[in-house]
A and B are shown apart, each in its own frame.
Chain A
Amino acid sequence: MSGYRLDKGGYIDRNTPLTFSFEGKQYSGFDGDTLASALIANGVSVIGRSFKYHRPRGILGAGLDEPNAIMQIESGPHTIPNLKATGIELYDGLQANPVNAWPSLAFDALSINSLLSRFIPAAFYYKTFMWPHWHVFEPTIRKAAGLGVSPNFPDPDRYEKRFVHCDVLVIGGGPAGLLAAQAASRSGARVIIVEYDPEWGGSLLNDPKEMDGTTSDTWIQKIVDELQEAPQTTVLNRTMAFGVYDHGLIGLVERVTDHLPVSSRSGVRQRIWKVRAAHTIIASGAMERPFVFPNNDRPGIMLASAGETYARRYAAAPGKRVVVVTNNDYGHYCAQSLQKMGVEIVAIADARLQKNTLLPGQIDLNNYPVFFGMTVTDTSGRHRVRSAQLHAIDDSGKAISGRSHNIDCDTILMSGGWSPVVHLFSQAGGKLVFDAKAQAFIPTSCEQNIVCVGAATGEYSLAKNLIDAAKAGSNAASKSGFKCGSMAVPSVEGSEASTVRAMWQVDVSAIGGSEQKAWVDFQNDVTASDVKLAIRENFQSVEHVKRYTTLGMASDQGKTSNVNGIGVMESVLKKPMAQVGTTKFRPPYDPTTIGAFAGRRVGENFAPLRALAAEQGHKEAGAKFDDYGGWKRPVCYLQGAETEAEAVQREAKAIRHGVGIFEASPLGKIEVFGPDAAKFLNRMYVNIMSTLKAGQCRYGIMLDENGVVFDDGVLGCLKENHFLVGTTSGKAAAIAEQFEEWLQCEWTDLDVVTDNVTSAWSIINVNGPNARDLLQKFDCTVDLSPDVFKHMQMREGRLAGVSCRIQRVSFSGELSYEVAIPWAYGASFWQALISEGAAFGVCPFGIEALMILRIEKGYLHVGSDTDGMTVPQDIGFGRILAKKKSDFVGRRSIMRPDAVRKNRRQFIGLENISDESPFRVGAHILPPGKVAPPAHTQGWVTSSVYSPNTGKPIALALVERGTERYGEEVQIWDLGESRRAKIVRPGVFDPEGRRLHV
């Protein structure tokens, strides 16, 4: 043995040495190592510092239950925080660093935390740092108690998602999982089997057996080959099932390239599989529990199964002088197996009395001292354990003074019994019960089609588990309608009868020990005394104790700590484990990369914007784009060196003096057909729509059932029983959906069909005094003459040979045509308008200029000038309401006393009489006599701009009793400034509306 590497054995490739660095120091390992096994082989015992006290910590486990060996790997954009060294496959050039040590592992400046106060009790931070506010202290505390750091760069890796359906999903590639998959696969069912590890075989990798007269390695290989060849079966290693959701949905994450050196990775790094499985078989095995005794956290103290895994799978000896502490037979098997591999066993302490064990003949008790009825009560050693103190214990588990041993060692292997891995079963809604024989929570029933097999059931006899697994595989396939033949189950050697003595915590009160350093949760630094303190402070429920102490809330989700923690609660609450119960497990089973969840939806694809028909034309005209309700639309068009604000002012002025063009394609367009179309629209809109004649348009507002103004738009009648409903750009889809909801769910008697044609038609708005002259340059079958095509009318026809729908409607107060043509022609129509318009000085304009124009006219914008409390009476629809007798959506709600009270906020205009700059949107109107808050607000500014066509700032507002107060001067509280305004009618430009009718 050189260092800690055993001379032979292991699944490592000794011909492929690899170098890696840990905390800046170079080490070497072999292909097939994990980072953890390579560190152990190099004799590195301190691999991290604990979360709260910064105590030196070593590797505890060999799988995803590892609480201590938390790593930050690589640097720059490829860095990944908080990975467990036990789950990282070693590759050449791997860089790893511990996460909780500053400046270094050997000297951690913050370990002073463990000297400061006696100890930091549960919830100490929350209790101590309450004033003035927890958030003031939190950043510093988090740094001291932090985990890794997230990268400061965009993620350079690619991820993808895949959706699949299958008949049988098997989670876990140990003996039970493999056999279940084989049984299901042979029926021809669609089977998926997943395994977190790169290697198949599970427990057989640690504990090889003779199976069917051959080695377990050969048996595994044969079965994996068969599954891989089966056409309907998908075999995924390096894949973790992280979550089980409703109706058989299981989330998997496949690590495609994580095991390769960063420089040789290409393609997708990780892939999320969303599997909808008709039946799921969980074969996730069991995890070993540590013991809770004082100073059980020193480096060199490890789970017994982990010690065996390192020696067996990776040929890395867990230590050179090993003490095994156990309460069940496994400790003996483990010790014997390690000794055979050349690891020195100094002693075994078995909590059971010898008469209570069923140790078979193959266990030789003469190879090393075996102390029955004794357990570890304390340890010594700073950077690695140096000795174990053993005491005899009485029937209640209390250490007895006097009868003790002190044993020199460099390693203590703990076998505190086994807990089935029930996380996924619990996530699925499955129920767990405490089983006294197994001394563990075991799975029982589940509403979903999910069963557990193998050690995950709490049964540890391989022979029995294989029979049950084959049955489970066949059952699942037959329930999906596949025929299963009989399955031969391999015969296996050995007997697995065992007893286990409950040992949740070693009671050291009689020997003067301190449980303040008896760790339950290693990663979150929760001790037995923390759990007891929480109970003393009256946190009785297991869910409350968990949150108060943070027990089980670290990135390992308490895999090694939950059951022991519940055991400690049992002793204090004096109620059995079964009644204390366990917390519910939630996804993910182990932290999962956020990038994998995002998949391809990153950057531009995160929330893709919809493009206008003439996007290229807008670019060429100098458009500056922004996101307006999911559409990428021009804010304005920049000329020369002008600023955005200057461009908006220029455009708003140009339209009133010539002609402008604006792409309005996102305006919602919903066609409504049928004999009851008019009746239906009457019920959807506040206005009467049934009187609309073919070729006419009408402005309408729509409420929700609470009576709140929801949308507005122009409705046109194409012909009898055929309407074109215009909606605002952001609401097209929502309103189309509402129409259908009312028609399908409430008014099923109405004979109406709706069709959302928003993206079928592009719209270019030609706007301004010269609009007609410009449009007349085109070959159009629609007569635009003012005496035949009037304001608020619409026509259908052909423009340049293409069908068109033209509405003469205006949001600017100028002569304005909204010309709709099929989407594909929008871009060329825009180009033609630019070239034909050159003679008129045509001005492309963006949304902001249109907003100025509508504010000058006092036209309201739903969502800006209205809010979630605005009813139609507030915005001048009182008269229309009075005329309409029939019911419509929201009608009853606007009859409520609150909707008809006299002091409602009403839509009005404001004239700035203090200065020349616009009020800020949101500025408050104060009651008479008040110049500053505190004061009751009478309303607020809802729209505000500088108006280039009147040469002054103008605003719209919602103000209490506003329409009774025209001419009144009011005080404005504008972000700390006191200003004055006069209440006026909305619409300061062309108030008579003459320009609309030219």
Chain B
Amino acid sequence: MLQINCPYCGPRSEVEFRCGGESHIKRPGPPEDVSDAEWSEYLFFRKNPKGIHFERWLHRFGCGRWFNIARDTVSHEVLHEYAIDMPAPTIIEKTK
């Protein structure tokens, strides 16, 4: 069970959160200008990196706010927590 540092509340156990999956996905629109391929890319295609993953989490049983984290999918280390509307930070991956 991860320990996640909510930017608004501080470190809390994973059970208080809900993972919203990959972050920084742009919703395409307006609908009539979006191709089927573009829309399916948005709906279904996700990164599955071995390494740093940017993802959004909701502090569901806490402040109720969404925020982003950068998590290493190998070590589960959380390298950054940042506001939902901030761009993804640049992270130099550790050599493993």
A705–B43 touching, CB < 8 Å = yes
Expressed in whole angstroms, the Cα–Cα distance for A276 and B18 within the complex equals 20
A748–B39 touching, CB < 8 Å = no
Expressed in whole angstroms, the Cα–Cα distance for A740 and B75 within the complex equals 31
A895–B31 touching, CB < 8 Å = yes
- Chain B residues with Cβ below 8 Å from A787 are none
A893–B29 touching, CB < 8 Å = no
- Chain B residues with Cβ below 8 Å from A247 are 1-3, 76
Expressed in whole angstroms, the Cα–Cα distance for A740 and B56 within the complex equals 13
Q: B residues 44-90 with Cβ under 8 Å of A?
A: 56, 58, 60, 64-66, 75-77, 84-85
The 8 Å CB contact of B39, one of A248, A249, A737, A893, is A893
The 8 Å CB contact of A896, one of B2, B28, B36, B56, is B36
B19 within 8 A of A: no
- Chain A residues with Cβ below 8 Å from B18 are 737
A429 within 8 A of B: yes
Expressed in whole angstroms, the Cα–Cα distance for A745 and B64 within the complex equals 12
B76–A246 touching, CB < 8 Å = yes
A394 within 8 A of B: no
Given contacts A741-B58, A748-B85, contact A892 B29 (CB under 8 A): yes
B75–A447 touching, CB < 8 Å = yes
B10 within 8 A of A: no
Chain B interface residue count: which class?
20 to 34
B77–A249 touching, CB < 8 Å = no
Given contacts A737-B58, A745-B84, A891-B31, contact A447 B77 (CB under 8 A): yes
A706–B56 touching, CB < 8 Å = no
A779 within 8 A of B: no
Expressed in whole angstroms, the Cα–Cα distance for A945 and B58 within the complex equals 42
Give chain A nearest CB distance to B24 CB in angstroms: 10
Given contacts A247-B3, A737-B60, A744-B66, contact A887 B29 (CB under 8 A): yes
Closest-by-CB residue of B relative to A248 is B3
A745–B66 touching, CB < 8 Å = yes
Give chain A nearest CB distance to B10 CB in angstroms: 12
Expressed in whole angstroms, the Cα–Cα distance for A429 and B77 within the complex equals 12
Specify which of A276, A705, A745, A892 lies most central, judged by the most chain B CB atoms within 10 Å of its CB: A892
Give chain B nearest CB distance to A455 CB in angstroms: 27
Given contacts A744-B66, A744-B84, A887-B30, contact A892 B39 (CB under 8 A): yes
Closest-by-CB residue of A relative to B30 is A887
Q: How many residues of A contact B (CB 8 A)?
A: 24
Give chain B nearest CB distance to A444 CB in angstroms: 14
- Chain A residues with Cβ below 8 Å from B13 are 249, 276
B39–A744 touching, CB < 8 Å = no
- Chain A residues with Cβ below 8 Å from B29 are 887, 892
B2–A746 touching, CB < 8 Å = no
Given contacts A745-B66, A746-B27, A893-B43, contact A246 B60 (CB under 8 A): no
Given contacts A247-B2, A745-B20, contact A892 B31 (CB under 8 A): yes
Expressed in whole angstroms, the Cα–Cα distance for A892 and B44 within the complex equals 14
Expressed in whole angstroms, the Cα–Cα distance for A869 and B15 within the complex equals 31
Expressed in whole angstroms, the Cα–Cα distance for A746 and B29 within the complex equals 12
Give chain B nearest CB distance to A759 CB in angstroms: 16
- Chain B residues with Cβ below 8 Å from A746 are 27
Specify which of A245, A741, A745 lies most central, judged by the most chain B CB atoms within 10 Å of its CB: A745
A19-33: CB near B (< 8 Å → 1, else 0) gives: 000000000000000
- Chain B residues with Cβ below 8 Å from A887 are 29-31
B66–A740 touching, CB < 8 Å = yes
Expressed in whole angstroms, the Cα–Cα distance for A276 and B32 within the complex equals 51
Q: A residues 696-725 with Cβ under 8 Å of B?
A: 705-706
Expressed in whole angstroms, the Cα–Cα distance for A276 and B2 within the complex equals 10
A231-271: CB near B (< 8 Å → 1, else 0) gives: 00000000000000111110000000000000000000000
- Chain B residues with Cβ below 8 Å from A429 are 75
Expressed in whole angstroms, the Cα–Cα distance for A896 and B58 within the complex equals 31
Expressed in whole angstroms, the Cα–Cα distance for A355 and B11 within the complex equals 59
A740-757: CB near B (< 8 Å → 1, else 0) gives: 110011101000000000
Closest-by-CB residue of B relative to A446 is B75
A745–B1 touching, CB < 8 Å = no
Give chain A nearest CB distance to B33 CB in angstroms: 10
Give chain A nearest CB distance to B79 CB in angstroms: 12
- Chain B residues with Cβ below 8 Å from A897 are 36
Give chain A nearest CB distance to B74 CB in angstroms: 8
Given contacts A276-B13, A447-B75, A740-B64, contact A246 B30 (CB under 8 A): no
Expressed in whole angstroms, the Cα–Cα distance for A746 and B24 within the complex equals 10
The 8 Å CB contact of B2, one of A246, A737, A745, A895, is A246
Expressed in whole angstroms, the Cα–Cα distance for A958 and B7 within the complex equals 48
- Chain A residues with Cβ below 8 Å from B66 are 740-741, 744-745
- Chain A residues with Cβ below 8 Å from B30 are 887
A404-434: CB near B (< 8 Å → 1, else 0) gives: 0000000000000000000000000100000
Expressed in whole angstroms, the Cα–Cα distance for A895 and B36 within the complex equals 9
Give chain B nearest CB distance to A433 CB in angstroms: 16
Give chain B nearest CB distance to A239 CB in angstroms: 20
Expressed in whole angstroms, the Cα–Cα distance for A897 and B36 within the complex equals 9
- Chain A residues with Cβ below 8 Å from B64 are 740
Give chain A nearest CB distance to B64 CB in angstroms: 7
- Chain A residues with Cβ below 8 Å from B32 are 895
Expressed in whole angstroms, the Cα–Cα distance for A248 and B39 within the complex equals 41
Give chain B nearest CB distance to A448 CB in angstroms: 8
Give chain B nearest CB distance to A251 CB in angstroms: 10
Give chain B nearest CB distance to A21 CB in angstroms: 42
- Chain B residues with Cβ below 8 Å from A245 are 1
A881-902: CB near B (< 8 Å → 1, else 0) gives: 0000001000111011100000
Given contacts A737-B60, A891-B31, A893-B43, contact A249 B36 (CB under 8 A): no
- Chain B residues with Cβ below 8 Å from A895 are 31-32
Closest-by-CB residue of B relative to A448 is B75
- Chain B residues with Cβ below 8 Å from A740 are 58, 64, 66
Expressed in whole angstroms, the Cα–Cα distance for A117 and B31 within the complex equals 70
Expressed in whole angstroms, the Cα–Cα distance for A544 and B31 within the complex equals 50
B39–A745 touching, CB < 8 Å = no
Expressed in whole angstroms, the Cα–Cα distance for A249 and B4 within the complex equals 12
Give chain A nearest CB distance to B86 CB in angstroms: 11
Give chain B nearest CB distance to A200 CB in angstroms: 30
Closest-by-CB residue of B relative to A896 is B36
Expressed in whole angstroms, the Cα–Cα distance for A518 and B13 within the complex equals 48
B3–A249 touching, CB < 8 Å = yes
The 8 Å CB contact of B65, one of A246, A705, A744, A896, is A744
Expressed in whole angstroms, the Cα–Cα distance for A780 and B93 within the complex equals 67
- Chain B residues with Cβ below 8 Å from A447 are 75-77
B20–A276 touching, CB < 8 Å = no
Closest-by-CB residue of B relative to A249 is B1
A268-307: CB near B (< 8 Å → 1, else 0) gives: 0000000010000000000000000000000000000000
Expressed in whole angstroms, the Cα–Cα distance for A891 and B39 within the complex equals 11
Give chain B nearest CB distance to A428 CB in angstroms: 11
Give chain A nearest CB distance to B9 CB in angstroms: 15
Closest-by-CB residue of B relative to A747 is B27
Expressed in whole angstroms, the Cα–Cα distance for A53 and B39 within the complex equals 60
Q: A residues 727-781 with Cβ under 8 Å of B?
A: 737, 740-741, 744-746, 748
The 8 Å CB contact of A276, one of B3, B28, B43, B85, is B3
9 nearest CB pairs, A to B = A892-B31, A447-B75, A247-B3, A744-B66, A246-B76, A891-B31, A892-B39, A249-B1, A246-B2
19 contacts between A and B (CB under 8 A): A245-B1, A246-B1, A247-B2, A249-B1, A276-B3, A447-B76, A705-B43, A737-B18, A740-B64, A740-B66, A745-B20, A748-B85, A887-B30, A892-B31, A892-B34, A892-B39, A893-B39, A896-B36, A897-B36
Known pairs A896-B36, A897-B36. 18 more at Cβ < 8 A?
A: A246-B3, A247-B76, A248-B3, A249-B13, A447-B76, A705-B43, A706-B43, A737-B18, A740-B64, A740-B66, A741-B66, A745-B84, A887-B31, A892-B31, A892-B39, A893-B39, A893-B43, A896-B39
Residues of A within 8 A of B (CB): 245-249, 276, 429, 447, 705-706, 737, 740-741, 744-746, 748, 887, 891-893, 895-897
